[in-house]
Amino acid sequence: MRISGKHLTKLAEVILGELPVPRYARLSKFLDADGQIIDQGIALYFPAPHSYTGEDVLELQGHGGPAVMDLLLNRCLAAGARLAQPGEFTLRAYLNDKIDLIQAESVAAVIEASTHEAARCATNSLQGHFSSRIEELVNLLIRLRMLIEATLDFPEEETDNLQALQIVEKLEHAQIQLEQIFLAAQQGNLLQEGIRIVLMGAPNVGKSSLLNQLAQEEAAIVTEIPGTTRDTIQRTIAIAGMPVHVIDTAGLRETDDVVEQKGIERTLAAIKDATMVLRLMDRSRCRSIAEDMVQNAIPAGKPHITVFNKIDLVNENPRIEEQEGNSAIYLSAKTGEGLELLRKKILEIAGWRFNQAGEGVFMARQRHLEALKQAKRYLENAQRFTQGEYQLELLAEELKLAQNVLSSITGQFTADDLLGEIFSHFCIGK
């Protein structure tokens, strides 16, 4: 049980009978209001500012039984504490300048990581690697702004000054750094969030068999009866370290079965939300009427791969064909032949470049990517104001906007409503 706040001395003395020696684990008795022992365990006291939150922190480690811990919790509440809000300990660490906003979000990312690579990537960001790259770029823009705004005081010499100070070269260097950060963040976002892949097709084309092969477990029931899968089934797998959320869906066809119709509705909803669609077809059978329904269900512009399954029934070899930008992969979900071709194509379309242990990759959420894209646009605008006649006021303003949007990533410029949104997704006690 963790308690954070100002002046915890009195609370510690009420519950423990004394204030523990700072930063030493001490075997202590946890006392109720009558001085009776609730439990006996380890007490740790971290005086401000040398704690996770930057405030006084008291940690009580009991035996963990629900009834005993509930008694201890009620004792802490009666002594003046209150229940923590989601993410409040990390929020206080951020507000007390113990960590920046990227590091705060990385705490949740470490907990949520679904692959080893994603966990390492989140840990890198928690250690401040992402933050330091953003800070370096912000400092570069600040120095660039100082040079330009100083030049504004000498308008008759501005062109010569800008050339002598290598403003254009420095701006190009900033753009190169920003592009490198964006690419690393983009890979980190794939590691953290993964992609959603929906398996779709007519009944009995092998969607559930393919899910089982990819997940390497019997995740879905496989029978010869059309319409066996009535609801969506999801499994998270790792392909070269990237999390892939694979969703098996009900077969698409015209049906009077009310339950099957509900399953088809969920299939269409899953397709809409998917990052990518795998459209399965049975290589051993002629094209059916249901295939037209399947084709029409794929939204325009949605990345998809056509998978011709059951090549083992027609004695064909696994292969991949490219036609007019569309990929078709021939495989057998029963034997596993051709699955490696499918995995590689999924990674290619997703834009994932495998990096061992997540080195050089930053944990990034969608808000980070949007901020980096916006900063790129500001620097591109700034570059245009260096072409032909220099427009120093506009150039300086674009650099200022780029600096502010980059600073919002680490939390130097952050709206309170954004903080509420970020920390509301944390679990209690973090």
Across the chain, mean pLDDT equals 84
Res 415: pLDDT: 58
Res 416: pLDDT: 61
Mean pLDDT of 296-302: 81
Res 222: pLDDT: 46
Mean pLDDT of 270-279: 88
Res 269: pLDDT: 81
Residue 54 has pLDDT above 60, yes or no: yes
Mean pLDDT of 217-234: 56
Res 181: pLDDT: 94
In the chain, what percentage of residues exceed pLDDT 90? 46
Q: How many CA atoms lie within 13 A of 123 on its CB side?
A: 9
Specify burial of residue 63 (Cβ count, 10 A radius: 0-12, 13-18, 19+).
exposed
In angstroms, the CA 327 to CA 429 distance is 47
Res 347: pLDDT: 92
Identify each DSSP E strand in 232-310 by its residue range. Answer: 233-239, 242-248, 276-282, 304-309
Question: When comparing pLDDT for 389 and 376, which is higher?
Answer: 376
Residue 89 has pLDDT above 60, yes or no: yes
326-330/304-309 β-pairing? parallel
In angstroms, the CA 430 to CA 90 distance is 6
Token pair 């049906």 in the structure block, residue: 255
Helix ranges, 48-197 (H)? 66-78, 88-95, 101-112, 116-126, 129-151, 158-164, 167-193
Question: When comparing pLDDT for 383 and 217, which is higher?
Answer: 383
Mean pLDDT of 313-328: 89
Res 153: pLDDT: 62
What digits encode the pLDDT tens for the residues 133-189? 999 999 999 988 888 877 766 555 554 555 656 888 889 999 999 999 999 999 988
Mean pLDDT of 180-201: 89
Res 208: pLDDT: 86
CB-based contacts of 423: which residues, under 8 Å, 6+ apart? 85, 86, 87, 88, 90, 91, 104
Res 64: pLDDT: 79
Residue 201 has pLDDT above 60, yes or no: yes
Residue 126 has pLDDT above 70, yes or no: yes
Please report the domains of the chain, with CATH numbers, ordered by start residue: 2-83 (3.30.1360.120), 104-190+365-423 (1.20.120.430), 194-356 (3.40.50.300)
Residue 301 has pLDDT above 90, yes or no: no
In angstroms, the CA 50 to CA 62 distance is 23
In angstroms, the CA 382 to CA 392 distance is 9
Res 223: pLDDT: 45
Res 357: pLDDT: 45
3-state helix, strand, coil in the chain (%, to 5): 50, 15, 35
Q: Which run of H or of E encompasses 395? A: helix 392-410
Residue 225 pLDDT level (bands cut at 50, 70, 90): very low
What digits encode the pLDDT tens for the residues 11-46? 999 999 999 999 999 999 999 999 999 999 999 999
Residue 71: other Cβ atoms inside 10 A: 15
Residue 71's DSSP bridge partners are none
CB-based contacts of 196: which residues, under 8 Å, 6+ apart? 245, 247, 273, 274, 275, 276
Residue 427 has pLDDT above 80, yes or no: no
Mean pLDDT of 391-401: 88
DSSP state of 84: P
Mean pLDDT of 80-94: 92
Identify each DSSP E strand in 284-430 by its residue range. Answer: 304-309, 319-323, 326-330
Res 256: pLDDT: 60
The pTM (predicted TM-score) of the whole model is 0.74
In angstroms, the CA 402 to CA 428 distance is 35
Residue 228 pLDDT level (bands cut at 50, 70, 90): very low
244, 195 contact by CB (below 8 A):
yes
Residue 372 pLDDT level (bands cut at 50, 70, 90): very high
Residue 413 pLDDT level (bands cut at 50, 70, 90): low
26, 59 contact by CB (below 8 A):
no
Residue 362: other Cβ atoms inside 10 A: 28
Q: Which run of H or of E encompasses 43? A: strand 37-46
